[in-house]
Amino acid sequence: MKKLLTLLIMLTLWPALGSAQVAPWNEIKGELKIALETKGDAVRGEAAFESCQGCHRKDASGRVSGAYPRLSGQHATVLMKQIADIRSGQRSNPKMEPFIGDHVLTPYEIADIAIYLNGLPISTTIGKGPGTGVAKGKQLYEKDCAVCHGAMGEGNAAKFFPMVASQHYRYLLREVQFIRDGDRRNSNPDMVSVIKPYTSSDLEAVADYISQLASSQK
């Protein structure tokens, strides 16, 4: 009798469980909403960024090794979303967590840092790929990536698509591997679907091509 009752309860709940909606990857709520609605201050952002310079460097150019991305010139909306996602656990990035936890930064300071980084000039010292996969990477990028990230890798601030031009090759390669394998967690599901069948060679080629794209920042 107890087993039957349990089964009936499960059958009753099943439609509700099956209809549960997963939150959109780009849902604007919580700290992200606060940061986006805040008029960030670059002067305050520069001061707040000092604790980040040990990894991302003073000019926010990141590391050629790919250990840390180039942040300078990146869309402020993208930076706000990524920081908010790491803080909420939606994106996995253990290295960043101690530096951007809610006991370290407020949502308002996130906006300040994002505005400051967005206004920095982009370094010309970017880690390039080997150049051997550019032709193949170009074909894949134009077919699958340009629709969101732009023909020249400029991204789209309004849609949270990052500028990928002038980004370090090894960082790009690591992140597309994470996205394909489901390790990044906050990825656009459309991108995951597109690159899921990519081989390691495909990912290397795309990262190689993107790393050769120069930013159009003036």
Handedness of CA 200, 187, 96, 113 (dihedral sign): positive
Residue 21 lies in a domain: no
pLDDT at 25: 87
The number of domains in the chain is 2
Place of tokens 């099943």: 14
Query: Range of 189's domain?
Result: 134-211
Query: Does residue 100 share a domain with residue 142?
Result: no
State the maximum Cα–Cα separation within the chain, in Å, rounded to a whole number: 74
Domain boundary among 118, 145, 177: 118
Residue 152 lies in a domain: yes
88 and 51 together in one domain? yes
> Considering the domain boundaries, does residue 16 fall inside one?
no
pLDDT along the chain (218 residues), means of 10: 38 38 79 95 97 95 96 98 93 88 89 98 94 98 98 97 98 97 93 97 98 78
106 lies in the same domain as 151: no
Q: What is the 3-state secondary structure (H, E, C) of 43-111?
A: HHHHHHHHHHHHHHCCCCCCCCCCCCCCCCCCCHHHHHHHHHHHHHCCCCCCCCHHHHCCCCCCHHHHH
State the pLDDT at residue 216: 67
Domain match, 111 and 43 both: yes
Can you give the pLDDT at residue 101?
A: 81
Task: Please answer whether residues 71 and 83 qualify as being in contact, where contact means their C-beta atoms are separated by less than 8 angstroms.
Answer: no
Q: What's the CA dihedral at 68, 71, 72, 77 to 10 degrees?
A: 180
Q: Check whether residue 95 and residue 169 sit in a common domain.
A: no
| Same domain, yes or no: 70 and 108 | yes
Tokens of 149: 């990230």
Same domain, 109 and 145: no
Same domain, 156 and 196: yes
pLDDT at 124: 87
| The pLDDT of residue 23 | 63
pLDDT at res. 187: 93
Q: What's the CATH number where 186 sits?
A: 1.10.760.10
Cα–Cα distance for residue pair 81/114, rounded to 1 Å:
10
